[in-house]
Copies of this chain bind each other. A is one copy, B any other.
Amino acid sequence: MTRVTPRTRRSEALSRERIVEAAIELLDTVGEDRLTFKVLTERLATGAGAIYWHVANKGELLDAATEAVIAAALTIEPAGSPRADIHAVALALFEAIDEHPWLATQLALQLSRSPSGTVTPRIFESIGRRVSALDVPESTLFTASSALMHYILGAAGQNAANARFLGPDGDRAEFLAAASKAWEALDPEEYPFTRAIAAQMRDHDDREQFLAGIDLILTGIRS
Contact = CB atoms under 8 A, between A and B. Distances in A.
A101 B109 CA distance: 12
A152 to B, nearest CB: 8
A154 B124 CA distance: 13
Interface string A11-42: 00000000000000000000000000000000
Given A194-B121, A220-B218, A105 B114 contact: no
A147 B217 contact: yes
A8 interface: no
A140 B216 contact: yes
Kindly name the residue among A146, A162, A192 whose own CB sees the greatest number of chain B CB atoms within 10 A. A146
A153 B109 CA distance: 13
Contacts of A145: 193
A197 B144 CA distance: 12
For the complex, would chain A's binding face be called helix, strand, loop or mixed by DSSP majority? Answer: helix
Interface in A144-162: 144-147, 149-151, 153-155, 157-158, 160-162
Kindly name the residue among A104, A109, A151, A220 whose own CB sees the greatest number of chain B CB atoms within 10 A. A220
A73 B108 CA distance: 22
A181 to B, nearest CB: 12
Interface residues of A, number: 62
Nearest to A141: B197
Contacts of A162: 114-115
A80 B140 CA distance: 27
A116 to B, nearest CB: 8
Interface string A180-205: 00100000001111101100110010
A174 B128 CA distance: 25
Interface string A112-151: 1111000001001100110110000011111111110111
B154 A150 contact: yes
Interface of A: 101, 104-105, 108-109, 111-115, 121, 124-125, 128-129, 131-132, 138-147, 149-151, 153-155, 157-158, 160-162, 164-165, 179, 182, 190-194, 196-197, 200-201, 204, 209, 212-213, 216-221, 223
